[in-house]
Chains A and B, each alone.
Chain A
């Protein structure tokens, strides 16, 4: 389905916010994503997955779904050149997003850089459900690595920032913020680099609290057909005794269809 570009603006160096016309579509739930094709030709060849950042519903004007992205390669470079009125082929919303624990104590969202993407809609939902205290812990290299930070302040949740250079917030890793913040009644949601996610999962496991991680993987189809975006899941100990070809337990899950959000205890972190 072709969506029209309403705006495409640079919000920080290399970070862009793309607003796409959204009339009448299914709204994304927290953590869902789209497969985007921004060019007509075959270079780049495949679609690329992008998380839904926010849905904007202005009083006058068109509803828009926002894609917050970082320019990292050829596809995102072309994407950054999109102008209002251009068409973008949009497939989605896809995947299984965050499972919402209604009513539990403290909801801690941990984001690293562009890993902030799934948390705007999640924060809105948490606040709307009055699910308890909501806290965002946001980490980046410096102030230019914290896209969307201003948006979250306006939502009225507690935001704590960690940067490598101390330009904003505390000079530490975002996982150190988590170690200070986490309580026995917390639920943790995380999106960011692999190392960060693994650390977050470890901290949550130590406290024995639920932890949900949103994973990013190269994918071709986005709908569970190509089986390219596999992640190894933790298997019961009896697995090793099975002959590989004869087992009834499948050791891989698909990020596009079974995720992108997983219970952190499901993931085989050593093999990610």
Chain B
């Protein structure tokens, strides 16, 4: 009270995540914003805290058979199959465009073996214009009977540790919600050396066409996203926030600034907006503006003062 440390009409939206400073806490989630250029005609990329690009692998991946997406209640299922152009073309063709903006570039990457993760991380670590890496560990490990890295603490620890010890860039580890206890995976990632955690990836799900008796996705199973998963995501962010010391990035069904603030109050230092980009390319910018207005109205100077403020008691 009474300390003249800032102007309440110009709140400070900046946050620090994994040693990098973002102008605001709103990023676009991997796989929902392409390589940035797809959305550049519709939204000012400079207004975003960061762009997290579509997941990259060492070699190009063709993606899954179709149908690949289906709308569900308050959300959608997708099984794109991690289609991407591979790291070589990404660095040559996509990265220079994105680096031209004021926004931070975070590159999501994945592999099917520790060797692939390692080789890929080394290439990205040597590229210009990347602020951090986000590691997708929700993919099968070919050396462990195609078990997903992110479903076993020991696998999570090993892959994070192997990558982090050779890495110059900050490492964000993206967690899968399709586990018995996400806090054990979060701790394993922390022990492995992660600089931050982002969660949640999509929830595993399916849908059926009762006329044809077929699954609505060619891959049968897909990942559920959108407002339908927000309560689950909030709970997991809260659990992880209370289980680790690392900064947490909240993801899952964010459509509005109110949604984003819920995530920050349960412990997220920043958020990623995903499926909402498909409906409104400008949604992330609107969320930033909404946050600013909220802070002004509540006379709060810094957005980071809201992180983890969830009250535990009811009067």
Contacts and interface: CB of A to CB of B under 8 A. Distances in A.
Interface of A: 37, 42-47, 89, 91, 217-221, 223-232, 244-248, 250-252, 257, 271
A227 B66 CA distance: 10
Interface string B53-75: 01001011111011111111111
B75 A45 contact: yes
Contact of B227 (A42, A217, A232, A247): A42
**Chain B binding surface SS class:** loop
B146 interface: no
A245 to B, nearest CB: 5
B32 interface: yes
A221 B278 contact: yes
A interface, over-half SS: loop
Contacts of A248: 60
Q: Which 8 A-B pairs have the closest CB atoms?
A: A228-B69, A225-B34, A221-B278, A220-B278, A225-B38, A224-B38, A223-B38, A227-B80
B60 A218 contact: no
A245 B33 contact: no
Nearest to A89: B280
27 contacts: A42-B255, A45-B72, A45-B279, A47-B279, A91-B281, A217-B66, A218-B67, A220-B69, A220-B78, A220-B278, A221-B38, A223-B38, A224-B38, A225-B33, A225-B38, A226-B278, A227-B63, A228-B78, A230-B66, A230-B68, A232-B66, A245-B60, A247-B62, A250-B62, A250-B83, A252-B63, A271-B66
B69 A252 contact: no
B42 interface: yes
Contacts of A46: 71, 76, 278-279
B76 to A, nearest CB: 6
Contact of A225 (B74, B226, B277, B279): B277
B39 interface: yes
B65 A271 contact: yes
A226 B279 CA distance: 11
Interface in B103-125: none
A226 B42 contact: no
Contacts of A44: 71
Given A47-B279, A218-B67, A248-B60, A223 B42 contact: yes
Given A43-B73, A46-B76, A227 B33 contact: no
Interface in B244-299: 255, 275, 277-281
A225 to B, nearest CB: 4
B151 to A, nearest CB: 22
A230 B63 CA distance: 9
B278 A47 contact: yes
Given A223-B281, A252-B83, A45 B38 contact: no
A228 to B, nearest CB: 3
A76 to B, nearest CB: 14
B37 to A, nearest CB: 9
Q: By CB atoms of chain A within 10 A, which of B63, B75, B226, B278 has the most?
A: B278
Contacts of B275: 220
Contacts of A218: 67, 69-71
B184 to A, nearest CB: 31
A246 B71 CA distance: 31
A88 B78 CA distance: 26
B183 to A, nearest CB: 30
A200 B36 CA distance: 37
Contacts of B63: 227, 230, 252
Nearest to A239: B62
Given A42-B74, A225-B39, A245 B61 contact: yes
Contacts of A245: 57, 59-61
Interface string B8-46: 000000000000000000000001111000110010000
Contact of A43 (B39, B59, B74): B74
Contact of B60 (A217, A231, A247): A247
B33 A251 contact: no
A37 B71 CA distance: 14
Given A218-B71, A228-B69, 16 more contacts: A37-B280, A43-B73, A45-B72, A46-B76, A46-B278, A91-B281, A218-B70, A223-B281, A224-B34, A225-B278, A226-B32, A226-B278, A227-B83, A245-B59, A247-B62, A252-B83
Contact of B62 (A223, A226, A244): A244
A25 to B, nearest CB: 13
Contact of B32 (A37, A217, A219, A225): A225
